[in-house]
């Protein structure tokens, strides 16, 4: 064996042996995951080259490992993979690190170090409840990322612990490594008025290379009872750069889900975009024309086929504004979604 290689192997043995010994006393870790995707058919599209495209794809696959460590400490590692959804790539789904963090938890506070969910739409996504069908608006229209690498603190406070916060400082590059000196600061504040009604406000500030800045403001309210779940949100993002005109991105979104019976629900959502999505062509699975204002609509039925398997027939529509408006996007789909653990 090469002398240098021998030294490396020996060093690894000495390094990992204490960890293996330590792991003998740890609680058993938990492996879980989820899978969702669609069969889609593009009946109409602003890009005529996409009309009549159809096929199967996986839009998300998670493989997650959770492990409790010492008292109040835990770690999570999650891998994500998916087909690209750009209608050009033929590569297989390639895994990458989605979550990798260490968490310290007390009765009312969590401190999280690493790559973890952001406060931007963490609560909104839970209330929307249909990530398997579509991303939340800020995520879908590339106004924010679902993950950030840095330090986060979240918790509850006030009388009866009805108020909550989620603050974060990160690189601004989601799961990717840092490549500039800028940083991103994020904060959400929410209040559970009752067991059924919630309000949340959110803001972030990000510095980017070439004197670029981004400011985001968002408001969200949600209501739920045993049969109905509904939400309304508004988001405004300013993108500035010295010597150039500022770009404003605004939208309002409303959604509702109604449980028809134990294993069947109806859901719908409408997003009204008051400004063109300048990078709309880069949206995976449903690229949007970047020159026109638009209204996005999705609705469908969620059938719980088995305990952890959902079959969700749905249709996504994008209607464009303007005298020279592009053709509308019409994409019926059958979405499948299941979890395992």
CATH of residue 140: 2.40.160.10
Which residues touch 27 (CB under 8 Å, ≥6 apart)?
Answer: 67, 68
Q: Which of 208, 272, 269 is nearest to 240 (CA)?
A: 208
Give pLDDT, residue 275: 95
Give pLDDT, residue 3: 52
Q: Which of 336, 327, 266 is nearest to 302 (CA)?
A: 266
Which residues touch 130 (CB under 8 Å, ≥6 apart)?
Answer: 257, 267, 269, 302, 312
Q: Residue 300 in contact with residue 317, Cβ under 8 Å?
A: no
Q: What span, in angstroms and rounded, lies between the C-alpha atoms of 37 and 153?
A: 33
Q: What span, in angstroms and rounded, lies between the C-alpha atoms of 222 and 224?
A: 7
Give pLDDT, residue 272: 98
Q: What span, in angstroms and rounded, lies between the C-alpha atoms of 333 and 47?
A: 18
Q: What span, in angstroms and rounded, lies between the C-alpha atoms of 151 and 169?
A: 6
Q: Is the dihedral of CA 185, 191, 248, 282 positive or negative?
A: positive
Taking 50 as the pLDDT cut, the residues of the chain under it are 1, 5-13, 15-17, 19-20
Give pLDDT, residue 179: 83
Q: Is there a domain that residue 2 lies in?
A: no
Tokens 């670029």 belong to: 212
Q: Is there a domain that residue 204 lies in?
A: yes
Q: Residue 292 in contact with residue 307, Cβ under 8 Å?
A: no
Q: Is the dihedral of CA 216, 289, 327, 36 positive or negative?
A: negative
Give pLDDT, residue 6: 47
Give pLDDT, residue 12: 44
Give pLDDT, residue 1: 46
Q: Is there a domain that residue 92 lies in?
A: yes
User: Residue 85: how many CA atoms within 13 Å on its side-chain side?
Assistant: 18
Give pLDDT, residue 181: 87
Q: Is there a domain that residue 102 lies in?
A: yes
Domain count, the chain: 1
Q: Is there a domain that residue 10 lies in?
A: no
Q: Which residues pair with 36 in a beta bridge?
A: 60, 337
Q: Is there a domain that residue 321 lies in?
A: yes
Q: What span, in angstroms and rounded, lies between the C-alpha atoms of 105 and 116?
A: 15
Q: Is there a domain that residue 7 lies in?
A: no
Neighbours of 208 (CB within 10 A): 15
Give pLDDT, residue 16: 45
Which residues touch 176 (CB under 8 Å, ≥6 apart)?
Answer: 149
Give pLDDT, residue 22: 52
| pLDDT tens per residue across span 301-313 | 999 988 889 999 9
Q: Is there a domain that residue 33 lies in?
A: no
Range of the domain at 318: 41-340
Q: Which of 228, 110, 233, 211 is nearest to 167 (CA)?
A: 110
């Amino acid at each position: 064996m090469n002398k240098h290689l021998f030294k490396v192997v020996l060093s690894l043995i000495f390094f990992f042996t204490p960890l293996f010994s330590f792991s003998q006393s740890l609680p058993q870790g938990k492996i879980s995951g989820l899978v969702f995707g669609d069969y889609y058919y593009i009946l109409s599209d602003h890009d005529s080259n996409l009309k009549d495209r159809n096929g199967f794809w996986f839009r998300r696959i998670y493989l997650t490992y959770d492990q409790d460590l010492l008292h109040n400490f835990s770690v999570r590692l999650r891998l994500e993979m998916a087909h690209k959804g750009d209608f050009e790539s033929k590569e297989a789904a390639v895994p990458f690190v989605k979550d990798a963090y260490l968490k310290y938890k007390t009765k009312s506070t969590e401190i999280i170090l690493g790559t973890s969910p952001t406060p931007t739409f963490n609560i909104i996504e839970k209330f929307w409840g249909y990530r398997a069908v579509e991303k939340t608006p800020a995520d879908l229209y590339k106004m924010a990322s679902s993950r950030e690498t840095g330090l986060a603190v979240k918790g509850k406070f006030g009388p009866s612990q009805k108020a909550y916060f989620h603050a974060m400082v990160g690189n601004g590059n989601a799961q990717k490594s840092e490549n500039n000196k800028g940083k991103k600061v994020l904060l959400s504040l929410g209040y559970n008025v009752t067991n059924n009604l919630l309000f949340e406000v959110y803001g972030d500030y990000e510095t980017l290379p070439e004197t670029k800045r981004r400011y985001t403001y968002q408001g969200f309210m949600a209501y739920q009872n045993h049969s109905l779940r509904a939400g309304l949100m508004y988001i405004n993002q300013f993108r500035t750069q010295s010597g150039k005109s500022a770009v404003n991105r605004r939208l309002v979104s409303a959604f509702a889900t109604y449980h028809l019976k134990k294993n069947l629900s109806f859901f719908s959502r409408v997003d009204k975009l008051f400004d063109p999505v300048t990078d709309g062509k880069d949206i995976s699975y449903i690229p949007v024309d970047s020159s026109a204002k638009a209204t996005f609509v999705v609705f469908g039925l969620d059938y719980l086929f088995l305990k952890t398997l959902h079959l969700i027939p749905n249709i996504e529509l994008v209607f464009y504004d303007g005298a020279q408006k592009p053709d509308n996007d019409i994409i019926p789909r059958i979405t499948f979604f299941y979890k395992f653990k």
